[in-house]
Amino acid sequence: MSTTTIAAAPVGAADMPGARRRRWASALPYLQALPLWLVLGVFLLIPIATIVAVSFWDDQEYALVPTFILDNYRDALGSHVTWSTYVSTLRYAAIVWAATLGIGFTVAYFLSFHVRSTLWQMVLFQLCAIPFLTSNVIRMISWIPFLGRNGLLNRSLMAVGITDHPLEFLLFSPFAVVLAFVHLYTLFMVVPIFNTMMRIDRALVEAARDAGAGPVAVLRHVIVPLSLPGIAIGTIFVVTLVMGDFVTVQMMSGGQSASVGLMMKNQISLLQYPSAAAQAVVLLITVLLMVWAILRVVDIRKEL
């Protein structure tokens, strides 16, 4: 639309013939999008293509041998370790998803329906979003004083008399992994759900209330259904982040827990690139299938 308006602009266009100007205007979007194409092509498409290629290669004495073998996939899919690691990673994803959804939805609901001043809404929303711009590694380290053997939690539990010896399971355990995940990723739920909720027509809520719906019924039949796109986007973020994670599991479980990402990272540090590449392809397919399944259930196109 704006193409025609630019071409039709009468004044100031005098020095450029109409046809040339139109051709320039229609080429412009391609030039503007070219850098994005280049960066994503070189640093996203080609690397993934490289992973797919290397997953069929062989390695001999730490050198990559280009060939076409299926051994890497046979090893990856035939190994009991792979399957149990997937089960443990999927369990993390499910628990973290449920926790971040519960917390994220409640926080977003409070912000959008219970905070009345727009200024306060924005201030409190920023307060939830700012930790995203700080370091994940440091946010994980910051749990040590809480969860450590002599940490705050153990001291308080012992002071209250709930336990008489420090609980060992707090740090370096699956519990710590889940806690850190929830700590790091809840804002990936809060932000999209809040965005969707802010767009819900308040008249619908009023109408439901006038029709006699109580707060719970309004939530169940109006707000939750209309928030689904935001929930879906948050779910995609949280699930893909947990599925591909290696650093949180490594740091917070102290090496006692497994995840697909960590398994790959260990193969990489042993320079077993073809095996790691095959695992990477399996992980990518798993994640894409999960995203596809989420998009089958919820239509998020309105959000984009």
Partner 1 sequence: MEKSGPRHWALAAFFALFVLFLYGPTVTIVILSFQGPDGGLTFPMRGFSLHWFANLFQPQMVGDFGGSFERSLALAMIVMGLTVLISLGAGLAFRRRFFGATALFYLTIAGLIVPSILISLGIGLMFNVAGIPPNWWSSALGAHLTWTLPFGVLIMFAVFNRFDHSLEEAAQDLGASPWQVFRHVVLPLIAPSLVGVALFGFSLSYDEFSRTIMAAGSDNTLPLEIFAMTTNVTTPVLYALGSLTTAFSLGLVVLVLVLVLGMRRRRRAAAG
Nearer of residues 155 and 221 to partner 1, judged by Cβ: 155
Report CA-CA distances (Å) from 245 to 63, 177, 184, 262: 27, 11, 12, 7
Closest to partner 1 by CB, 9 vs 94, is 9
Check binding of 186 to partner 1 (CB under 8 A). Answer: yes
Determine the 3-state secondary structure of 60 from DSSP. Answer: strand
Q: Which stretch binds partner 1 (CB under 8 A): 68-76, 92-100, 110-118, 157-165?
A: 110-118
At closest approach, how far in Å is the CB of 164 from partner 1?
Answer: 19
Q: Does the footprint of partner 1 cover residue 270 (CB under 8 A)? A: no
Q: Least Å distance between CB 70 and partner 1? A: 19
Say whether residue 293 binds partner 1 (CB under 8 A).
no
Q: Are 299 and 63 in contact (CB under 8 A)?
A: no
Number of residues that bind partner 1 (CB under 8 A): 96
Question: What minimum distance in Å lies between the beta carbon of 253 and partner 1?
Answer: 13
Choices 27-35, 70-78, 91-99, 224-232; region in contact with partner 1 by CB under 8 A: 27-35
110 binds partner 1 (CB under 8 A): yes
Residue nearer to partner 1 on the CB measure, 107 or 193: 107
Q: Mask of contacts with partner 1, 120-159, x by CB under 8 A?
A: ----x-xxx-xx-xxxxxxx-xxxxxx-xxxxx--x----
Which range touches partner 1 (CB under 8 A), out of 78-86, 93-101, 180-188, 222-230? Answer: 180-188
Query: For 11, phi and psi rounded to 5 degrees?
Result: -85, 150
Determine contact, residues 131/180, Cβ cutoff 8 Å: no
Report the b/e string of 47-78 with b at 16+ CB within 10 A.
eeeebeebbbbebeeeeeeeeeeeebbeebee
CB of 86 to partner 1, least distance (A): 14
Among 137, 100, 127, 78, residue whose Cα is nearest residue 242? 100
Scored b (16 or more CB within 10 A) or e, 139-155 reads ebeebeeebbeebebbe
Half-sphere exposure of 242 (CA within 13 A, CB side): 32
Regarding 22 and contact with partner 1 (CB under 8 A), the answer is no
Under rule CB under 8 A, residue 95 binds partner 1: no
Find the binding residues for partner 1 in span 65-94 (CB under 8 A). Answer: none
Give, as ranges, the residues between 235 and 254 that touch partner 1 (CB under 8 A).
Answer: 236-237, 240-241, 243-247, 251
Please list, in sequence order, all residues whose beta carbon lies within 8 angstroms of the beta carbon of residue 66, skipping any fewer than 6 positions away. Answer: 53, 57
Residue 169 touches partner 1, criterion: CB under 8 A = no
Q: How far is the CB of 244 from partner 1 (least distance, A)?
A: 2
Q: SS3 of 136, please? A: helix
Q: For the chain, how far is it from start to end, CA to CA, in angstroms?
A: 20
C-alpha dist (Å) from residue 4 to 15, 67, 138, 173, 293: 18, 53, 52, 62, 41
Residue 222 near partner 1 by CB under 8 A: no
Is 242 within 8 Å of 91 (Cβ atoms)?
A: no
Give the nearest distance from C-beta 161 to partner 1 in angstroms: 19
Nearer to partner 1, 40 or 69 (CB): 40
